[in-house]
Amino acid sequence: MIRVLEQVTGGVIKRFLDSKGVPKNCPLCSQDEMSISIFDPEGEQAGTGKAPAVRVIHELPDGTHRGYGEFLRVCLNCGYIHYIRDTEVLAFMDEGGDNEL
């Protein structure tokens, strides 16, 4: 299941990762910058940071789901996928860390 939270944008994920000191490059192949997965069906918001981030929710066989979802970024060179638990990102937003300067 994929859900989109309008307020969690690609830009928020980027600022979250920056604030935590996570390098932009791929940890496997060292490609310069991994791509944050965003919901942008019209392809109009690439690079703006304003498109909502894709959040993956894992549904369990009984119809419930895990207590957290995951944002992700992908290496466009080697395909490595880095999942980022939503709990920490939402806490970051609650603390006001997502405010643009």
Determine which residue in the list 3, 39, 80, 93 makes contact with Zn ion, applying CB under 5 A: 80
**Taking contact as CB under 5 A, which single stretch among the options 6-14, 30-38, 41-49, 83-91 is the one that binds Zn ion?**
30-38
Q: How far is the CB of 71 from Zn ion (least distance, A)?
A: 18
Q: How far is the CB of 76 from Zn ion (least distance, A)?
A: 8
Compute the distance between CA of residue 94 and CA of residue 16 in angstroms, rounded to an integer.
12
Residue 76 within binding range of Zn ion, rule CB under 5 A:
no
Compute the distance between CA of residue 87 and CA of residue 47 in angstroms, rounded to an integer.
25
CA dihedral 72, 9, 97, 70 (to 10 degrees): -30
Determine which residue in the list 25, 35, 77, 87 makes contact with Zn ion, applying CB under 5 A: 77
Phi and psi at 13, nearest 5°, equal -60, -45
Residue 82 within binding range of Zn ion, rule CB under 5 A:
no
